[in-house]
Amino acid sequence: MSYTAPIRDLMFAATELADLPGVNRLPGFEDATPELLRTILEEAGKFASDELAPLNRSGDKQGVRLEDGRAITADGWKAAYKKFVDGGWNSLPFDPLFGGQGLPWLAATAVAEIWHAANMSFSLCPLLTQGAVGAIQTHGSDEQKSTYLPKLVSGEWSGTMNLTESQAGSDLGALTTRAVPQDDHYLLNGQKIFITYGDHDLAENIIHMVLARISDAPEGVKGISLFIVPKFLPDEKGNWTKRNDIETIALESKLGIHASPTATLAYGGKGGAVGYLIGGENRGLHCMFTMMNLARQAVGVEGNGVAERAYQQAVAYANERVQGQAVDAPDGGRVPIIHHPDVKRLLLQQKCRIEALRSLSLWIAACMDNSARHIEGKARARAQAMVEVMTPVLKGYATEAGLENVSHALQVHGGMGYIEETGAAQHFRDQRITPIYEGTTGIQAMDLVGRKLIRDGGAMHAQVISRMREDCAAAAKSESKEVAAMAKSLEEAIALLDAVAQEILSSSEDPRLAAAVCEPYLRMWGVVACGWQMARAAGVSAEKLAQKDDAFYRNKIRTAQFYFGAELPKAASFAASIRESGRVIAETAPELFQTE
């Protein structure tokens, strides 16, 4: 049930694959050295192990409760959150002008994995605050920035995203929450559901970022605006103690993340909740995507973090559980189940995906840093194209692979995994939401095909393919036979991915076909992108081993070999699915699903 942060692998992925030294050379990141990152990760690991991980199980069992309209978190959570804020953990990637530490997203993302792994329910609070900071930083006025950012950056205040309504779901154009102009603000009336940390007792104030429709606004998504709606407003003396017209009318009873309060909020029951327009009228969708893209990247990391926690528990159980004889020594004594080949298969599948997705997430974070800070415009544009394409891939594939990973971790436990007392079931329950919230996998896939492939005729897609091919060509020149073989397989997979993309583009005149195959297309991207990262990791490891023998690097190559033998071949399966099933799906009538 304990958790140990994988410091060495995080450092390897950050420095050797995501190019932390290069990020360190970007303007403003001169202090972000590998030595500093290691210190930060070590301290984060201690805080996660000592403070957050022990609360994961107790928080799941106790949950949250609603008393007199107030959400009360589980025992120990307020104290842990105060330590989190006092330690400066909330402020890592944010602007020093507002109290942030100004570290790159590469560093913040590595730390975030630790929080998600240690305690997913806890980590959701700073995850949502991060989105609110991003929206206000990008779209807010100077007054809004000075008013809200210092407290949000520190974590003294938390933030939320209020998007979903019961009748609309993911169709934001159908939302009905209204905003009526009133002097220097607006009065909001409506109801929002599924609001993560919509109410709680951890922070002094909660700053809700609420989508609503101003009177006479255009229909659909073109007519939605974004508003800052604080839980508490300033009183006559400037103290933020005046309760806004927001009511927590329910906390959702959920399959997992029991310690995270998911609220139904009613705005305007007493006349209207005070809100302040951000980003201009009818520009809510544009502002919302700033929050949403940050959240989608974070949820991808979250899905992999929970998988890491479940994997660690599965490894520990496999070493402790003695059952059966070794297949090559049937007359010998009983052995721990980690000696059984099928258990090793389950563990290897988890390990290779986790390491590949860790590298991919940190590489994307480094691209975020380069897109914001690189001195060359072309380099910034290339990095941004990488972020645009890979964000839905990370969110969709890391959460789907993470869900399968925690299922494998539970399977390692056998029947004991299905029993709540072992804790394996909690990871499965918690993980199940990650492919759903912040946009389902299907929505991520439609974004990948519609916005990131068809809209620009494949231009961004081509940039990422080109970068993968450059790295593949470098790996092909490796003196390691294993790495060179991986490069050959990877080149074939990249060529297949590119061919499938061109086929989707050629059939884009029929939107049904693209929509029908976008989900396996996203998974194919995930499989190939992870193979790209594994080949890079194996290449670096082979170079290190040529200098000095080290079990860490030998294990890297062995894990990559398993990935190329067991995971990368799935790209061909997805390609076949895309080519053979798309028209069948597109032309299937809804009546087929009726029970006869």
Catalytic (active-site) positions: 438
C-beta of residue 84 within 8 angstroms of C-beta of residue 126: yes
C-beta of residue 465 within 8 angstroms of C-beta of residue 496: no
Q: DSSP assignment of 369-429, as one string?
A: HHHHH-SSHHHHHHHHHHHHHHHHHHHHHHHHHHHHHHHHHHHHTGGGGGSGGGSHHHHHH
Give the span between the Cα atoms of 415 and 317, in whole angstroms.
12
C-beta of residue 18 within 8 angstroms of C-beta of residue 363: yes
C-beta of residue 475 within 8 angstroms of C-beta of residue 486: yes
Name the pairing type of β-strands 262-267 and 185-196: antiparallel
C-beta of residue 264 within 8 angstroms of C-beta of residue 250: yes
Q: Which residues pair with 277 in a beta bridge?
A: 227
The 3-state DSSP class for residue 180 equals: strand
C-beta of residue 15 within 8 angstroms of C-beta of residue 85: no
174 DSSP 8-state letter: G
Name the pairing type of β-strands 157-162 and 205-214: parallel
Rg (CA), the chain: 24
The structure tokens listed for 328 are 């090559």
Give the span between the Cα atoms of 251 and 264, in whole angstroms.
6
Give the span between the Cα atoms of 596 and 593, in whole angstroms.
9
The structure tokens listed for 339 are 């000696």
Q: Specify the residue for token string 């059939």.
A: 507
Q: DSSP assignment of 187-254, as one string?
A: EEEEEEEEEETSS-SSSSEEEEEEEEEETTPPSGGGG-EEEEEESEEE-TTS-EEEEPSEEEEEE---
Q: Specify the residue for token string 């389902």.
A: 440
Give the span between the Cα atoms of 176 and 213, in whole angstroms.
7
